[in-house]
Each structure stands twice: as structure tokens, then as C-alpha cells.
Structure 1
Amino acid sequence: MFQCVRSAFERLVGMGGVEISRRQAVGGVGAAAALAAAGWQGAAGAKPKPKPGDESVTITVMGTSDLHGCCLNWDYFKNAEFDNTAHDDIGLAKISSLVKQIRADRGRDRTLLFDSGDTIQGTPLATYYAKVEPITETRVKHPMARAMNAIGYDAVTLGNHEFNYGLPLLDLWIRQMDAPVLGANAVRASRDVPAYEPYVIKKMRVGHGRTVKVGVLGLTNPGVAIWDKTYVEGELRFLDLVETARKWVPVLRAKGADVVIVTAHAGDNGFSSYGGDLPVENASAMVAEQVPGIDAILFGHSHQEVAQRFVLNKETGAEVLLSEPSYWGRRLSVLDFTLVPKKGGWTVTAKSAITVNSNTVAEDPAIVALIKPQHDTTVAYVNQVVATSVAELSTAESCYKDTPILDFIQDVQAGTVKDGLAGTAYEALPVLSICAPFSRTAVFPAGDVSIRDIAGLYIFDNTLLGSVLTGAQVKAYLEYSAKYFTQLPVGAPVDVATLTNANGVPDYLYDQLSGVTYDIDISQPTGSRIVNLAYEGVPVTAAQEFVVAVNNYRQSGGGGFPHITTAPVVYNRQVEIRQALIDRASAVGVIDAADFHVLNWKLVRAGVPVF
């Protein structure tokens, strides 16, 4: 993804465990307030810098997650400093300033800094050094490795998006990192041995000759097996997070870890976007409940902000602290642990967490200067003009109307697959195309269209496939997609603000189909909404066959759509969809909706169009 868009299913709900307390700090805490609240008072009032003779000690763990290639506070799609309605800031340069403040307050020896994954994918900056000038060819240090090394991360956990560009690039990035990169549940396909470091134990010198050992176990997301099947099949397997933690936490304790922290690229609500064939996707709270011996979990993947949450471990009754620091570097989680000596080690007596807001500090000029050459290269690349648009094309209404800008994607996908089927046994089959509205703010301006305009429209690093579906399967697919809309009786007022995202379905899981005509009757319940499905004016029959152009994420099971994962694949040349869009724009020179826009679907109620 250029910008990672995650499911609205990933909400902050309990996992059946007892949630003792929870603070979701809306907008985060300002840096000064955070230091006052968590620094000088610390966990349960303990001082982070004890006086001689004071046996207790407080250590601090800081955490980021889902950075998604955000080094600087910059929006590559708008070619401007990042801003949103909440006036959030993003990027590692901001995180660096927060980290420096907290290290100065707590003492460098009393702090650790971890990340819970999805690091090297998500912005044009990250994509440039993976696709345009890949580090595997240039051997240039990846900008995220460069920045994280300069900040001084102590450990980083693999996210699912680390696998998006294949194992060679991932392996090189890991070698470029100073911090260990963890993933205990990613094992070699041929044998159950970790493919990456499972854990690390950090020794913290806390004064008076005393040392605290902090064990960190990294867990990545099982969905990699589906989402990046092309790269990992036959190479890696991804084990259950709970069972993996159950195996390794005792190892950390046996090696003398006084504090055990899990860094998990998994949300906390137990939901899986891919069904039951793989271990649970968002299992962080399950790990806390079911695996004894864990003090805290720094988690990510769901792009939420959970400043502090406590979950009871079912076996021991102990409280496990959970924290998630939002995404893109908007927040920094700060976890404080108060410890008292015990024979041969330490015992945690209190713990707490907050999130600190990145918009309370300036960017660290050292990180800005370090990344500027790669940033400037990326800015120059994405601002290249590749075509001229006859009129402005926008995605603002693409979630509920058939719009020309999405038909540009559909036309390129269908045309690419159709050309690829020439001379094969499938060349006579009709070619349909599937795509979803990934962004509600993407625009092709009237006039010059740049690479960043196209990248803002197609924000994922997907490749194109062609699969054979029957008419019955196409209808079932569309019915599944149509659950995205709120049911509205005939005559009820239509509010576009509440019309979409029903049943927790995010925009990127609302698939539209080109090449056939159909209506979606939103007055009907989910499962009975697709009417008038036809091809070239003739009703589609159940046995009729089509080749459907589809992205690799959907074809591999992302979103759980019916039939597509088992449908025969008849086209797969590893064409990157975003690049195909750029190539088409460059080839035609002029983007004119009249050349590709076909109004082939609409929302209706009892046959009457909604719009």
C-alpha cells in the first residue's frame, strides 16, 4: 500500500477477558503533559530515578507500530506537509523528537524503544526504494533502516507488509537494520524452526550495580500466508500467535527475563479477515489472556490508538498491559514498569501506559537531514507529469456511484488481461474487471496528471490476475460485496454519510464490477440485492463463464470474497496494477472519460434509482 487502509472491523472490543481499565487518549497526550504524568510520577507514583537506598526502580518502554514508510511529516499525494482534520503529524522525524525528550527525562539507560511492524511499505518513499530503484539492485540503505538506526531502536517486529516485496528485499532490509528484527511464529516451511530471530533479551543497567533483563518476543501476522502467498508459499509458514507465545515466553523467563514484553503485529479484537483456515489474525488480547508470564504487549496492525488496556490472564489472574500507538508515527506508546528486587532478579509491581502525540514536537532536524536526499528523489519522481486529463475526475462519490476515475482502473485491468489471453483457450471468454474505491480523496485534475495523482488513486502494491468465474459465482461475489450498503426502505431519506460501510465493511472491501450491468437494491436485505445482472443486454446465466481481472490481494483471499480463491487462474504475469495505470496514461497522453467510462451499475430501491 502507499497508505495503509485497514478494516473498520478492527475495533477496540474485548476478547472475552476481563478489561480492568482502558484509556483511549483521543488525540494523544501532549509531550510535556505526558512527561509530567508518566515521567515524574511514573507507574503507580514510582520515581524513574530512585535515590540511593530506594530499592524500587522504574523502566520505560516506548513503542511505535504501522509506520508504513513514513519518515517525514509529508504527504506525497498532496505534495505538501501532512495534515488532516485532527491536525495529526506523522513520521519518524517526529517520533525521534519525542524519543529524545523521554530519554532525557528518564535516562537513556532506563528506556527501550520497540516497533510492532509494517515498516517498509506504505508511502511513495518506501515504494520507490522497493520498486523504482530497489535496494536489492542499488544496495542503497533503505530510508526506514537509515532513520530507525539513527533513532536507536532496540528491536523491531515483522508486520505482514514487510513481505510485500519478496524475501530477498526483506532479508536485505533486515541486514541493514542495527536492531534485531523479530518474528517467532514465521518458520521455515520444511521444518518448524524460526526463519527470523524469535526474541531478544535487553539488559538495562539501572544504577548501584543492578541490571534489569527485559525479554522481547516478536510475533507477526498469520495472514501473510494469504496476502503474500506468491512470495512465501513453500518458503515460510506462519504459526498461531498464542501457541508460539506459549512456547517462547517460558524460554525468556528461563533465561532470566525480569520483564517479558510481546511485540505483536496483530490487533486485539480476535477478528480475522480471512476466515478460519489460518490462525487468528488479531490475537493480541488472546495471547494476553491465555499465555502466562507476559507483562505487556505492544501491538499494532489494526491502526487504532489504545493508550492503555489491561487484560486478565485466565491462568494466573495477572493483569497484562496492552498498548497500541496508532499508525504512521502519529503517536508514541510510553509504558512504565515499577520493579522491586527479588532473589536473583526483579518483580514488576506496577505498570501503566500512555500515548504521546507527535504533533506536540518539531521534527528532529538530524533525521530530516539524513532522509532528505531520498525524500527529494521520491518527490521528483512522483511529480513527473505523465498525461493530461480533459476534465477533473474524482473519487469523492465512488463509494456509491459508478464514476469515471474507477472505470479508468477497470479499463486498464480488463484490457491488460484480455491482451494477455490472446492465443489461449480463454481468449473468447468475456473479460470483466473488479476494483474497489481505495480513497475518497483521489483526483485526476483537469490538465496535468502526475505519477502521484495515479498513485493516490491506486494506493496498493497489487499485481493483476485473471480468474474464471461462472455467472452464479459472479452474482454471489456481487451479493457479498453489496453488504457494504445500509438497508434503506423505499421512501426513506438517503444520507450518504451513513449509506456505506454497513456491517463494518471498509471502502477497500467494496468491489465494483465492470463488463456486466447490474443494479444493487438497497431496500433488500444483504444477500438479496443484485438484480438485472446482464452481459451485453442478455441476462447472465448460472453456467456462463467469464474471465475476471482481479488483484492478487483479493484473489488470495483478502476480504473473504466467495469463489475467487478457488477459481482457475488463467492470467498471471505479475503486472503491477499501479504501474499498468501509469503506463496506460503515458501511452495515451490524454485521459478522456469518454474513452472508458461506462455506467454499468447503480443503486436502486424497488427499481427506482437512488441517485
Structure 2
Amino acid sequence: MRTFTLTVMGSTDLHGNLFNWDYYLNREYDDFAHNDVGLAKISTLVNDVRAAVGRHRTLLLDAGDTIQGTPLAHYYAKVEPITRGAHTHPMAAAMNAIGYTAAALGNHEFNYGLSVLRTFERQLEFPLLAANALDVATGLPAFQPYVVKTLWRTGGPPLRVGILGLTNPGIAVWDRAHVDGVLTFPGLVEQALHWVPELRQKSDLVIVVAHSGADLSSSLGDQVPFPENCSELLAETVPGIDAILVGHAHVEIPSRFVTNKVTGRPVLLTEPLFSGKRLSVMEFDLRHDEHWELVTSRSSVLSSASVEEDPRIVRLLRHDHERVVSYVNARIGTCATAMSAARSRFEDTPALRFINHVQALEVAKSTSLPVLSLCAPFNRAAAIPAGEVSIRDVAGLYIFDNTLVGVRMTGGQVRDLLEESARYFRQVSSAGPFSAAEISNDVPDYNFDIAYGLTEPLTYDIDISRPAGSRILGLSYGGVPVADSFEFAVAVNNYRQAGGGDFPHIASAPVLHNQQQEVRELLIDWVKAAGVLDPASFAGADWCLVAGGEPVMVSTNE
């Protein structure tokens, strides 16, 4: 009887993090937990594992969301796009140099359109997998569904490892503008039931790389008939899977076992923390009599903060990084006084009013209806200093690559939407004082929309002493209570308009404005044109967080 231990490493949700660098703060990355980020750190961890067990005993996988999320990702998609000339995307160059075996498609791979994605795919020296991204015309996978890697043991039988890639069905909603009529995205479980038996026949070990969170949940509502996050359900339902590298949810799962309901066998799940903060390490003990059989499996995560950046990756891509640093530090204007988004979740701030104002101005060009705007406090750390203002200062207010859309909504629909937004807060019995954590529900900041009126103020209270669904009080436009039938043009981002967050009415609302304008670039262009950004001109208090009519007191010392 022969034995063999295979080590499979995994990253996910790298989001354009190449080096341990914060482009918005122009310094090395740091967070409250003192994590580090980036592929250069992941490379060192991978090198260490390979040196410890032997490279021939390892595979390296990624679970998607690679080419969006930082100014570096934006730069090589929009400023100096990889679709022009022969320049290789730095994330592709780094992953090739590190020696990835395969990667799954993430939903954010589609943010810049199919031309950028296909160019990125061609630049990779390993397959980009997505068994459930289907070509509308043929019904067949538009990307390679799986790959089988054969590891040869000296003097022994080969070990065949099947790797199936699955992406997120939410792409059909979130990036409808890029994929509608071109690609469809059926459910992960449904497609795995089709592909795993085929892969099992060709493989001794089957690993799924799934850009879908472990715990069953979805922000998609009834917009698609498949859940957004279902990796644990996948493990329970589909026989023949030995392990799943999980992505998308941005949570850390060092090790979790799920019992398959058909076979009774355990399936190993692991998800490393996003942005290259962690590397998952799965180990599979196998034995061979007449064929290879999995005996035991286990996993853990390694922290990139424990190692230095790989100097080989630094040398290879330093100039690409420096181009981006120069770009984001370019001066575009001045700011009269410092402006911060730190309290934008709890009070009306000039920072969020500035975003809403610019969005509303643009939509107003396409309609005669009164214009409202909605935006969320994407980046709690965003701050524009007094004095000179750079691209990175403004970009820090809006860290996503969303585009602007204007839709027609009634007053009643706007009220419903704001009620949904107000679910961000926990119910309380007094006005506090509270810490931010004490009143915030487990809702992402990007799903707390704040409203603004362009030519007349839209005023309202959010009373969090009341149950969710009945918190919006005194909703008025220009001092007049908003009638349910009154019509507005509402400026939103494409994520929300496509149904992201499952807010009511907005996905089916008639579109009035959609020119594929990136909101971040509109903000940058506004500052360039104005020359001076004066927070005082965006001061106001159109909405208020209250409990029983009293303003809620919140400390944001987190």
C-alpha cells in the first residue's frame, strides 16, 4: 500500500491587492487587527509551504474577485487598460510568477466588461474556471468548467486531482449591463450535480473552487432563482466532492467539515481572509491499493502579516505599482477645510452630501422631474484634508467601480426603500449614548443608503426605537410631506439599480439615465472643474437618527 499527502493552498478575493499598500492613504496597509495584504506576501507564504513539503506535492488555487477593488485594479482597466497594447495586468503577471494551478471566476471579474475579462484570461498561464457561466447562444460553458491535474509520484501511480470552478449567479443582476443576452449564470448546486460525476470519473480527488459564501444566504431576493451564498449546501447536496475552497463572503474559515447527505462522507471547507490577508492550506492524506483513496483531510490558514513580501514579485511589478502611486497622488484641486466620512452612518455629513450632489447634478441633465440621490458610506476611513487635494483623496470617498443610473420612482417607493435602508440599525429603547457596534446590525455599510434632494431638501427622521419597517418619519420634500404618488428621478449606482441588496422597487423602476459613467470619476471631474472643494457648501442636516424623537448619540471610536 502506498501513501501520499497532497497540500493544496488557496487564496480568494484578492481584489487588486498586489503589494501591502494602501493607495488611499499613500502608506503601507494596516487595519485594526494589523493584517497585511497582497499577492507579494501570499507568494512568500506559498514559497515557504512548497519548501517545507516539496513543490511536486502542492497545488495553488484562487476562488475569484481578482481584478477589481483597488486603484491599481482601476488603473489597469480604465486609465492604462490592458485591452490596449501588450501590457500584462499586474495581477496576472504576479499570479503567473507565483505559479497558480487554476482560479475560479468571481463576480467582480465582470465589472469592467467582457473585453477586459477576456484579455485578463488570455494573459493567465493557468485556467480561469466557471462551470456555471453559460453562453446564451449555445448553452455551453463560456469558460473552462474544470481542469484535471496529474501529480506523478516517483515509482508510483499518478494521482489525478479534479478542480471544478463555480462562480456567483448574482453576476446576472450586478453586471447585467455587461452580460445580459450574452451569458447566463445558473446555480452552483445545479451545475455541480451535472459536472461532478464527470469529474469524479476522471479524478481521484475532487476539489471545488466556489465564489460563493459558505452559509446559505442571499442579497438577491427573488431576482434570480439561485442563492448567492451556498457552498455548505453544495457540500451537503452534491456527492463526490472532497473539499471546497470558498470565496465571496470575505470571512475567515480555517476549517469546517460538512457531511454529504448522500454519501455520509465529510467535505472539507475553508475560506482565507480577503485581499491576501490569509492563505488557506489544505492537506489530504491518501493511500493507494487498487486506486487512490482519501483517508483524512484537514486545513488551516496562514497570515500574510507573518512574512515579508517576496522580493521577486516586488522586482517584477514595482514599476506597475509606482505608476499607480503617481496617478493617485496627482493634484486636482484644493479643499477649504478637512472633510471626513467617519460619522456618515449616523449623521448627515458634507462628505456624503457631496457624493449625492454630484450624482444628482448628472441625472438632472436627463430629466425634468425633481431629482433625489442615494449613496452609502462606503469607506469609514475616507477623509479629504484641507489644502491640496489628490485623486486618491477623492477616490477614497467612493472605493467601488460603480456607474451612475437614474430611475423614476414614486414617493411611496422611496419611503419603502428608505425603510429597507433603515434595517441597518438595531432597535433601541433610548437615545443612548451608544457605541457604533451597539446600534449597527450585521448589514454591510454599502447597503445603508442615504437620500438627498438636489433643488429642495428631502428631510426625514430614522426612529430606531421603532421596529424595522416603520422607522421613516416626517418624509418631506421642500417642506411638504411626500405623497405616495409623487414622482422623482432618483440617482443611484448600478449595483443598487440592478437589485444589489434586494431593495424594493428599484430594480424594476424605469431607467431615465444610464451613460455608463463611473461615479468616482464624476467626483474627480467635479473637483477638477471647480478647483476648490468647500465642505461648507455641502453642510446640512436633512436626515436625523432619532429614538422617540430624541437625537441618538453615537460614539465612532471603533
**TM-score band, normalised by the shorter chain?**
over 0.9
Alignment of 1:193-272 (within 5 A): 193-255=140-202, 257-272=203-218
Query: CA deviation digits over 1:97-117, x for unaligned, max 9?
Result: 111111111111110000000
Q: Which has the higher contact order (CA 8 A, sep 6+)?
A: 1
Give me the whole-angstrom Cα distance separating, in 2, the residues matched to 1:88 and 1:395: 23
What is the aligned partner in structure 1 of residue 255 from structure 2?
308
What displacement does 1:413 show?
Answer: 0.4
Q: 2:535 aligns with which of 579, 590, 593?
A: 593
Identify the residue that residue 496 of structure 1 maps to in structure 2.
435
* Aligned-partner Cα distance in 2 for 1:494–1:565: 37
Please tell me the residue identity of whatever aligns with 1:511: D
State the distance in 1 between where 2:309 and 2:439 align: 37
Give a deviation string over 1:154-203, Cα, whole Å, max 9, x none.
Answer: 00110000000000110010000001110000001123200000000001
1:171 pairs, out of 111, 118, 134, with 118
Query: Is 1:505 the equivalent of 2:443?
Result: yes
SS of the equivalent of 1:565 reads helix
Native 8 Å contact 2:432 2:552 kept in 1:
no
Pairwise mapping of residues 450-469 of structure 1 onto structure 2 (< 5 A)? 450-469=390-409
CA shift for structure 1 position 354: 0.7
Post-superposition shift, 1:498?
3.1
Instruction: State the one-letter code of the partner of 1:416.
Output: E
Matched, 1:436 2:383: no
- Conserved 8 A contact 1:518-1:600: yes
Q: In the aligned structure 2, how far is the partner of 1:229 from the partner of 1:591?
A: 34
Task: Give 2:318's match in structure 1, choosing from 367, 372, 393.
Answer: 372
Q: Distance in 2 between matches of 1:332 and 1:478?
A: 39
Distance 1:288 1:609 in 2: 47
Match of 1:476 among 409, 412, 416: 416
Q: Conserved in 2, the CA contact under 8 Å of 1:186 and 1:194?
A: yes
In the alignment, does 2:220 pair up with 1:274? yes
The answer to whether the 8 Å contact 1:400/1:500 transfers is no
- Gapped runs of 5+ residues in structure 2? 554-558
Report if aligned partners of 1:485, 1:499 keep a CA contact under 8 Å in 2.
no
Q: Which amino acid aligns with 2:451?
A: L
Q: Counterparts of 2:38 and 2:246 in 1: how far apart (Å)?
A: 18
Aligned to 1:37: none
Q: Does 1:544 align with 2:491?
A: no
Cα distance in 2 for residues equivalent to 1:329 and 1:220: 19
Q: SS of 2:541's equivalent? A: coil
Once the two structures are superposed, residues 309-329 of structure 1 have per-residue CA deviations (whole angstroms, 9 ceiling, x without a partner) of 100000010000011111111
Q: 2-side partners of 1:277 and 1:413: how far apart?
A: 26
Corresponding position of 2:42:
95
Q: What pairs up with 1:334-413 in 2 under 5 angstroms?
A: 334-343=281-290, 345-413=291-359
Task: Provide the alpha-carbon RMSD of the alignment.
Answer: 1.1
What amino acid is aligned across from residue 100 of structure 1 in structure 2?
A: N
The answer to whether structure 1 residue 134 and structure 2 residue 76 are counterparts is no
Once the 2 structures are TM-superposed, how far is the Cα of residue 499 of structure 1 from its aligned partner? 4.7
Letter in 2 for 1:506: P
Contact between 1:77 and 1:455, CA under 8 Å: does it hold in 2? Answer: yes
1:332 is aligned, of 266, 276, 279, to: 279
**Cα displacement (A) at 1:365:** 0.3
Counterpart for residue 570 of structure 1: 512
User: How far apart in 2 are the matches of 1:171 and 1:457?
Assistant: 30
**Distance change (3 Å), C-alpha of 1:330 and 1:211:** same
Separation in 2, partners of 1:505, 1:101: 37
State how far apart, in whole Å, the 2-side matches of 1:500 and 1:469 are. Answer: 30
Distance of 1:506 and 1:176 partners within structure 2: 33
Amino acid in the other structure paired with 2:395: A
What amino acid is aligned across from residue 525 of structure 1 in structure 2?
A: P
> Match of 1:165, SS?
coil
Match of 2:468? 526
Say which SS state the counterpart of residue 219 (structure 2) adopts. Answer: coil
Tell me, yes or no, if the aligned pair for 2:427 and 2:439 is still in contact at 8 Å. no
Q: Which moved more, 1:274-283 or 1:370-379?
A: 274-283
Offset at residue 456 of structure 1 (A)? 1.0
Aligned residue runs from structure 1 range 42-57, under 5 A: 55-57=2-4
Cα deviation, residue 599, structure 1: 1.9
1:243 aligns to what SS in structure 2? helix
Alignment-mate amino acid for residue 444 of structure 2: P
- Cα separation, 2, equivalents of 1:605 and 1:438: 25
Is contact 2:173-2:223 (8 Å) kept?
no
Matched, 1:447 2:387: yes
1:290 aligns with 2:231: no
Aligned to 1:4: none
Bigger shift: residues 354-363 or 145-154? 354-363
Mapped to 1, the partners of 2:364 and 2:289 lie a distance apart of 70
Structure 1 position 573, deviation (Å): 1.0
Summarize deviations over 1:11-55 as a string: whole Å, max 9, x none.
xxxxxxxxxxxxxxxxxxxxxxxxxxxxxxxxxxxxxxxxxxx72
Q: Which amino acid aligns with 2:529?
A: A
CA shift digits 1:270-329 (9 cap, x unpaired): 101111332111111111000011110011101111111100000010000011111111
Q: Following the alignment from structure 2 to structure 1, what is the Cα–Cα distance between the partners of residues 104 and 395?
A: 27
What is the number of residues matched between the two proteins? 548
Deviation at 1:350, TM superposition (A): 0.9
Q: Secondary structure at the match of 2:189?
A: helix
The answer to whether the 8 A contact 1:557-1:564 is kept is yes
What displacement does 1:77 show? 0.9
In structure 1, runs of 5+ residues without a counterpart are 1-53
Residue identity matched to 1:154: T
State the one-letter code of the partner of 1:359.
A
What's the offset of the Cα at 1:368? 0.5
- In the aligned structure 1, how far is the partner of 2:478 from the partner of 2:296? 68
Whether contact under 8 Å (1:110, 1:205) holds in the other structure is no
Corresponding residue for residue 266 of structure 2: 319
Q: Displacement, 1:604?
A: 2.1
Aligned to 1:144: 91
Task: Check the 8 A contact 1:268/1:284 in 2, yes or no.
Answer: yes
Work out the CA distance in 1 between the residues paired with 2:43 and 2:259: 33
Inter-partner Cα distance in structure 1 for 2:57 and 2:240: 22
SS of match in other structure, 1:311: strand
CA distance in 2, matches of 1:551, 1:497: 26
Structure 2 residue identity aligned to 1:213? R
Deviations 1:377-399 (A, max 9, x none): 00000001111111111011100
Q: Give the secondary-structure state (helix, strand or coil) at the position aligned to 1:575.
A: coil
- Aligned equivalents of 2:356 and 2:438: distance in 1? 24
**Corresponding residue SS for 2:515:** strand
Q: Which residue of 1 aligns with 2:459?
A: 517
CA contact (8 A) 2:428 2:464 kept: yes
Q: Which residue of 2 aligns with 1:60?
A: 7
Residues of 2 paired with 1:466 and 1:85: CA distance?
37
